[in-house]
Amino acid sequence: MCGIFACHRHPDVQKFKPTALRLAKTIRHRGPDWSGSVISNNTILCHERLCIVGVESGAQPLTNADESIVLAVNGEIYNHRLIRKSLKTPYHFKTTSDCEVIIPLYLEYGLDAPNHLDGMFSFVLYDKNEDRIVAARDPIGITTFYQGWSSKEPGTVYFASELKALYPVCDKIEAFPPGHVYDSKSDQRTRYFQPSWWDGTKTPEKPLDLKLLRETLEKSVRKRLMAEVPYGVLLSGGLDSSLVASIAQRETLRLKKLAQDAIDNGELKPEDLDRGEGLVGIDDENKLSTMTFLPQLNSFSIGLPGSPDNVAALEVAKFLGTKHHVMTFTIEDGLNALSDVIYHLETYDVTTIRASTPMYLLSRKIKAMGIKMVLSGEGSDEIFGGYLYFHNAPDKKAFHEECVRRVKNLHLADCLRANKSTSAWGLEARVPFLDKEFLEVAMNIDPQEKMITPERIEKYILRKAFDTSDDPSAEPYLPDSILWRQKEQFSDGVGYGWIDALKDHAERHVTDEMMKNPKPEWGDDIPDTKEAYWYRLMFDEHFPPYCASTVMRWTPKWSKQTDPSGRAIAVHKAKYQDA
C-alpha cells in the first residue's frame, strides 16, 4: 500500500504546503520507501510510497511528458501490461510503474478511465489545463480512501488514504464510496462500477459451473503474484486462506520449473534462481517477465498458544510444502496494542478490532522479515454466505440480498481491516476473492446453490470446486480436514481466550453507570455492550466526533445474538455455553 493526500482549490496552496507535508507524514507508515509532492496552480498532491512494482523508477506523483497531468495512486493495477499494449494513442511512459497507465487512460477515456482498470486502487489525478481533479476508488474499496471539506474554505476539497491525514484540516469527512469517480468540474461523485449483480434486487439464475469457479479463482491468485519484492501468504488454516495458499504454492512451483527451464536454455543463470531474482514471472502472453521469485513460498499464521488456527495452518503448510512461520501472541500483547490498533484502523467496530489486533501484530513480524506483500482470503464469506448466521437465511432471495449487502459493505469491514492492519507496518495485502472477474462469476450463481442445509456445509460450492476426490489422478488442493473445516471467524480462530479476555477487560474499564450515560455527542450511535463502549472511548481519544460517521458496526442478520462472534451462533461446534 501507499499513502496519498491531496487538496484542490486551496486559497493559498504555497502557504498550505508545510501543513500538507505534515499531514502526508501521518500516513507514512503506509509508504515508508519514498515521499513526493507536486504543487500546481492551487492544487497539491502528496504521495508516500511502498515499492512493489516499478521499484527503481516508479516514484510518485507521476506526470505526463509536458507535466500537464499529475497523478498520485495507492494500489496495484494488475492489467497494466495489457493496457500499455491496447492504448489507441501512443504514449511515452516515464516509468515501469503499473500505476502510470492511469494517465493515458484518462487522456483517452476521461471519467471512464477507472472502468478499464483491473486491480485495487485509489487515485487523485490533476489536469492542469482544465484545473480539474479526478479521483476514484476501486470497485469494492480494497484500498481505503476518504474525502473531506472544511467550512473555513468552502470551495476546497481534500482527499486522503486515512482519516488521520484529514481531520486536522477538515470538519466534514466521508468514506469515498467504492466504484465511484469524482469530478471537480461537476463537484459530483458518480458510480462507474455497475456489474449485473450490484443492485441485488434480481435473484441470479445462472447454473453452477464448478470448473469455471475454480479456474477464475486460480487466475485471480496468479495475477496477484505480480511483484518485484518478496511476498508471502496469510494462512489462518481456514478454507479461504488455505485455498489462496494452495493456488499460490502451485503457481510458485510452476514458476520454479519455468525458471529451471530458462536456466537450461541459457536465459537465466543458476545463481539468479538461488537468489530468487531474475526473469521468472509470467506476463499476459504467458512469456517470462521480470519478477522476484521466492524459491519457497512463505506462509504466516498467528494465534494464542494452541489456537485452532495455528494448528490448522501448520497442517496446511506441511501438506503444501510452504515455509511456514507460526507466531504466538499473549493476551497481554493484544491488550497493549489495542489503542494503536484503533488509531490505525480508524474504527470502533467490535468485530473489526477483535480480528485486526492479531493481524496487526503479525504484520509487524512479517515486515521485519523483509516481506512487503501478502495474499489474504478476505471476501469469500460475503460472496458465498460463509458466516454461520447464514444458516438462518429464510430463502435464496434473502440469502443473495445479504451477500450483496455484505460485499457492498466490505470497505467498512474486512477490507478496511486487511488494508489498515497490514499497511500500519508498510505491508501490502492483496485479496484474490475480490477480483472483478471472479465476482462476476460467483455473484451470478443461483443462490440456491449457496444455501446451507444439513447436507451442505457453508461455502459448499467453493469447497466442491476444489475437491479432487472424484479424480484419482488429480493432485489434491488441500487435506479433507481443511477443505471441509467449519467456518471459524478469525477473531475466534486465533484462540477462544482472546475474545473472552477482551470482554473481561471491558468490564473493568466500563461501569454500569457509564453504560447508562453515554456521551451526548454520540447521538443515536450508542454502544450496546461494555466492550463496544470501551472501543468507542479509545476511538474518541484519537479522533473528533465527526469522524464517527465513517464507521459501520458489523452485525449478523437473522439472529438475536448481541455478540458478533461466530462462536455465539448455536451451530458452532465450540459455541458459547449460553448461546
What span, in angstroms and rounded, lies between the C-alpha atoms of 406 and 399?
Answer: 11
Residue 33 DSSP SS3: coil
Please give the radius of gyration of the chain, using alpha carbons only, rounded to the nearest integer: 23
C-alpha separations of 201 from 398, 404, 452 in Å? 10, 9, 21
∠253-259-261 over CA atoms, to 5°?
110
Q: Do the Cβ atoms of 163 and 346 come closer than 8 Å? A: yes
CA 442/CA 462 separation, integer angstroms? 9
C-alpha cell at 251: 503457481
Question: How many CB atoms within 10 Å of residue 154?
Answer: 8
Pseudo-torsion of CA 316, 317, 319, 322, nearest 10°?
150
The helix, strand and coil proportions of the chain, stated in percent and rounded to the nearest 5, come to: 40, 20, 40
The single-letter code of the amino acid at 233 is V
Q: What would the grid cell of residue 277 be? A: 531474482
Answer whether 102's CB lies under 8 Å from 125's CB.
Answer: yes
Kindly state the cell numbers that stand for 521. 455527542
Closest CA to 114 of 133, 95, 137, 96: 137
Among candidate residues 436, 383, 425, the one with its CA nearest the CA of residue 78: 436
- The set of cell numbers assigned to 145 is 480512501
Active site residue 7: no
Q: Which residues pair with 328 in a beta bridge?
A: 303
- Within 8 A by CB and 6+ apart from 257, the residues are none
Distance CA(73)–CA(233), nearest Å, equals 24
d(CA 40, CA 68): 9
Q: Contact 38/70 with Cβ under 8 angstroms?
A: yes
Q: Which are the contacts of 113, defined by CB distance < 8 A and separation ≥ 6? A: 102, 105, 106, 134, 136, 181
Distance, CA of 374 to chain centre? 10
Name the H helices within 267-307: 270-275
Catalytic residue among 2, 7, 51, 170: 2
516: left (phi over 0), alpha (psi -120 to 50) or beta: alpha
58 burial via Cβ count (<10 Å: 0-12, 13-18, 19+): buried
How big is the CA angle at 413 (ends 409 and 418), to the nearest 5 degrees? 125
Catalytic residues, which ones?
Answer: 2
